[in-house]
Chain A
Amino acid sequence: MTFDWSVVWQHRDVLAAGTGTTILLTVATMAIAVPCGIVVAVLRLYGPAPIRTVATAYVELFRNLPLILVVYWAFYVLPILTGLGLPPLATGLAALSLNVTAYNAETFRAGINSIRRGQVDAAMALGMSRGQALRRVVLPQALRRILPVLASTWVSLFKDTSLVSVIAVAELAYVSMQIRSQTFRVLEMLTAMATIYWLLGYPQAKFVDWMQCRFKVTE
């Protein structure tokens, strides 16, 4: 069996564009899922009862569905429900955001719950409102505590973006598979894809390790 690695180089532009889309999807998903995660967590903790129930239902639904199912669902069902014909990239982004927001909401909820009651008492004793206590005292501490968890979610997300290839979003996995089926260079393309994912993912994982040390809680 002979290998032809030149196929990777020939398609470098497409691979680079795919890699760019993968990074874009990761960044955009987190940019949506972090603020939305905070909102869902706060609603679940402090909202009126009906809203709490809705927030809890949302989190438990999307946390316990396979992501690939959510991606398909967003592709086939979302346009029917909303009447909008979203392009594949936006559909993939929506599916990823729905999933990661649910995870982030749980992370934030755990972070907020980990701040002991005395901290809120101290803030309230100064005359702060509950909202001020949350913004100035609880959230900044909670964020620090959960930063390593958010970073792990980030690394998982980076790899999970490959799942939106099933709805033809031209990210790294999709373009690699396209090149493979056009050239029949299976091993070369899978290796190239693995190498790119790994080279980008490994530094991120190391960065997470570093953050876990850096932001260890000291009280």
Chain B
Amino acid sequence: MSPPVPPGQSWKRQLPVSVARIGWILLVSGIILCAGAYLADPRRSAFNNIVLYLFLASVAGGSIFLVALEYVAGAVWSVPLRRVNEFLSALAPVVPLLAIPVLFNLHDVFHWTQPGAVAADQLLIEKQPYLNIPFFVVRFLIVSLLWGLFAMLFTRNSVKQDVSRDQNLTRRNTRLGAIFMPLFAVSVTVLAIDWAMSIEPHWYSTIFGVYFFSGTVLAGVATATLIVVLLHEGGYLPPLRPDHLYSLGALLFAFVNFWAYIAFSQFLLIWYANLPEETFWFMKRWSHGWQYVSVLLIVTQFAVPYFALLAQDAKMNPKRLKLMAIWILAAHFLDVYWLVMPSFDGGVPVSWIEFSYPVLGVGLVIVVLASRMNKYNLVPVGDPKLERGLSFHL
């Protein structure tokens, strides 16, 4: 069998101008809408801003994680698709910019930032060495820089290989991946604790970092699956086998289950111990309409994808995969919304503000993807494992 991508050939495929234009339109109108939201209701806007930030951070973080995972595990099947993850990981340096407006409205969201509230609350006084604004900002900067740096390093080595075909670059990225893994574990936990858990500073759950991690990887896999299937159908990628799609579907299915497993573990321990300082967090999500959102979350992020992806054929069916990837991304957005928004006013807030932020997010992903596709090969043509990856067999 002759290699589908002849060595040395470039594989640059650009998105149609119309798609890139849609991306820009969405991005610009999203920015305008969100700016309007900040003028109309800064507190509500800040909450929504966190939802979007956490969502896109999980897409970016999940993508870097998948790139690192491929190198560390020595995976072959995902080599032809790796660029999609690398392109998405370019979100990592951009997404923290979205969190900056929140930094100017911290008091609206995090009541541990209010000196009056802290002074009257023994627990917040005890937590102050961690929960204080300067350290919060420092942690935010460290996590953002760390992810941005690794996303850049992975991609830089990988695209360098397109030209040089130097196998040492693979080895270097493998080493980087091994360094990144433990750092990622800590940083994703810090991100989850800072931006989601500390909204309720009295509440704590030791599994919360893992919970957010499960959603992060799920979001990473779902975004990659969606884009790979779209590019595959549009003929942008070299011919993929059903085995590639099957592997993506299997990863999606696995992380749907992993998320459900972790989410239930978190719930079960809190339900079982029945300690008021822990249960109130779930009580908030089981009253004032949130109980419907909670049930909806279980149905959308677990039950439906579980049965939709259970069968072997479903995992190879591009149409099913595309639908499920969009579905899971929406469910993950709901998941983050469910983590953040119950602290806003107790009820389930739905208004134009809640819909403005996703517009910005979708626009940003398209713009970043289009710009990366303009710049780099869509397939790592210099990767020594590419040929084996393309003829990959399960």
* A and B together in one complex: no
- Interface set of A (CB-CB < 8 Å, partner B): none
